[in-house]
Amino acid sequence: MHSTLIKDSFGREFKTLRVSLTSLCNMACVYCVTPGVVQTENKQTVLTTAEYLSIIKKIHEQVGLKTIRLTGGEPLLFNEISTLIKGIVELGITDIKLTTNGLRLSAMLDDLVDAGLRSVNISLDALDPTVFRSITKVHNIRLVLDAIENAIAKGLEVKINTVVLRGVNDHQIIPLFEYASSRNISIRFLELMKMGYLHYNETDHFYGMDEIVEKISSVTTIAKMERAGSNTATYWQTSKGMVFGIIANESEPFCSDCNRLRLDSLGKIYGCISAAEGIDVKTSADAFLTEALETALAQKQDHFTGSEISMKYIGG
Ligand code: SAM
């Protein structure tokens, strides 16, 4: 029985749950990991598959979730991810998506698809191996490119996510756009978000939506599409039918119809990516979940402000 009462005065409710399965990552992207800080996680407190399923079930009973996106950190470092996906399907939620850096994807693809995965966003910030390495601190871009090919061949819906950094990979926008076009998949360019250590640090690497649009317009004719409700990206279509998106938290905030709730690997929920802290639903009694969801909904804002919490904790 789903409650429909958890809705704010703007009509916002939770329909999509993003789960950060681990804050650990096998990349160390410059905008996500504080430079010089070693990544660690206290394994004792991280949720087990059974705990994830129990929390997701309770949230689903309250709000009637439509979509679950598994993310992180790097979600493919959570070894039981396929078991978790099967469990989520058994709860009656079939729209299960994954956001990954792709490093481990090819090896896990069959199991993930057998479990019920249908859609994957793969992060790729550059095609040039040197630029890729300078951002991710990882050498093997081939693994990511192979993962994209294998996921397409397996019949998954595949999208590419690219964070654009001025002076670092802005010259990769057109090669990446052409790469995605040649594979008939969509690519979304992300504006840099003031999350984690970037929150209080001025950065001159920000590259905005208008500049991305201008750059792509220089090689093809494009038309802006109407944004579908609660989508993170605004999309453009080229005259040849290729679609690309921009996730413009700064230039074009999309808070007004946001339906996302986040759950981190410690069992805390967040109603907004800019929330300063999460609400513990791991140890709180079941009776408090409605209250926790209402508190989370009240965290929603009207424009993106960012937070000290890095994406790898809260789930990008
Ligand atoms: N490890 C997975 C991956 O790389 O896709 C999932 C987690 S990662 C945090 C999810 C997405 O968040 C990636 O596309 C990453 O580029 C993006 N991201 C992380 N920090 C960001 C920031 N400060 N601004 C914009 N995007 C960011």
Ligand 1 and 96: CB distance under 6 A: no
Residue 252 domain flag: yes
Q: Give the position of tokens 């009240």.
A: 298
Instruction: Please enumerate in sequence order all residues whose Cβ is within 8 A of that of 169, keeping only pairs 6 or more positions apart, or say none.
Output: 125, 126, 131, 135, 162, 163
Strand intervals (E) in 118-277: 119-123, 157-163, 186-190, 222-224, 234-238, 243-247, 260-263, 268-270
Ligand 1 and 100: CB distance under 6 A: yes
Residue 143 domain flag: yes
98, 94, 64, 18: which is closest to 265 by C-alpha? 18
DSSP 128: S
| pLDDT score of 5 | 66
Distance CA 281, CA 269 (A): 7
State in Å: Cα 113 to ligand 1 middle: 23
Mutate to test the pocket of ligand 1, among 24, 27, 99, 247 (most ligand atoms within 8 A of CB): 99
Residue 8 domain flag: no
Structure tokens that stand for 160 in this block: 């590419």
Ligand 1 and 190: CB distance under 6 A: yes
Domain around 137: 16-314
Residue 7 domain flag: no
Residue 9 domain flag: no
State in Å: Cα 154 to ligand 1 middle: 24
State in Å: Cα 138 to ligand 1 middle: 15
Residue 11 domain flag: no
Domains contained in the chain, number? 1
What own/partner pairs with CB < 8 Å and gap ≥ 24 does 89-95 have? Answer: 89/115, 89/116, 91/53, 91/56, 91/57, 91/60, 92/60, 93/56, 93/60, 93/65, 93/66, 93/67, 93/68, 95/66, 95/67, 95/68, 95/119
- 192-208: per-residue pLDDT in tens? 999 999 999 878 999 99
The CATH number of the domain holding residue 40 is: 3.20.20.70
Share of the chain above pLDDT 70, in %: 97
Residue 5 domain flag: no
Residue 283 domain flag: yes
Ligand 1 and 102: CB distance under 6 A: no
Ligand 1 and 70: CB distance under 6 A: no
State in Å: Cα 32 to ligand 1 middle: 7
- 141-190: per-residue pLDDT in tens? 999 999 999 999 999 999 999 999 999 999 999 999 999 999 999 999 99
pTM: 0.96
